[in-house]
Amino acid sequence: MHLHSPIVPQRIGLFGGTFDPPHVGHLVTAVNVRHALQLDVVILMVANVPWQKVGTRPITDALARLAMVEAAVADVDGLTAGRAEIDHGGHSYTADTLEFLSQQHPGASLFTIVGDDAASKIESWERYEEVATRSTLVVVDRPGDPVELPAGFGWERVEVPRLDVSSTDLRDRCRDGRPLAYLVTEPVLEVIRARALYEEAQ
């Protein structure tokens, strides 16, 4: 036993999203980033009010989206659902969530996981400088198609298999009765059916 060895800070990934619904693309991303960067945990943080989507479409109730994410990650090692933004209330900003996580996990290394599309718009984020200061940005990229970020950002690039699964398409599939099998996991489908989400779940 090495009593005098320093405690290695936790490596925590923050993967925020609306998750309306969470699908296999989200899980593939989280699992691959965790492996590539040797993260202790990846938190799929459910946005309470995703400010960039307000007014563009109806957003499913936050607790229902949390229930789907909890179902999606229940049996996946190293992934967990996060509800801090729901508990905080109001609009969800990554800068606030990183501040909360740094208070909860002093000394931890934080990694903010974003897709290449979101990364390219990073300067439109609320207090994006804080996001860059408090965490390492992890850009999930298509293989062979690197994104360009503004100068001065510390960031890591992780290639993951890109599954072109869209939450919008999945909601439409629920409404018109097309199958969701293999696009979302069975536990998520069970939540959708049990709560009659997306008007009609077949």
Confidence of residue 7 (pLDDT cuts 50, 70, 90): low
Q: Does a structural domain hold residue 72?
A: yes
**Mean predicted lDDT score pLDDT of the chain:** 87
Provide the domain count of the chain. Answer: 1
Q: Does a structural domain hold residue 157?
A: yes
pTM comes to 0.88
Q: Does a structural domain hold residue 1?
A: no
Q: Does a structural domain hold residue 112?
A: yes
Q: Does a structural domain hold residue 183?
A: no
The domain that contains 51 carries what CATH number? 3.40.50.620
pLDDT tens profile 153-166 = 778 889 888 788 99
Burial of 152 (0-12, 13-18, 19+ CB in 10 A): exposed
Name beta bridge partners: 43: 14, 80
Q: Does a structural domain hold residue 144?
A: yes
Q: What is the pLDDT of residue 152?
A: 67
Domain extent at residue 83: 11-164
Nearest to 110 by CA among 94, 122, 125, 121: 94
Q: Does a structural domain hold residue 188?
A: no
Q: Does a structural domain hold residue 189?
A: no
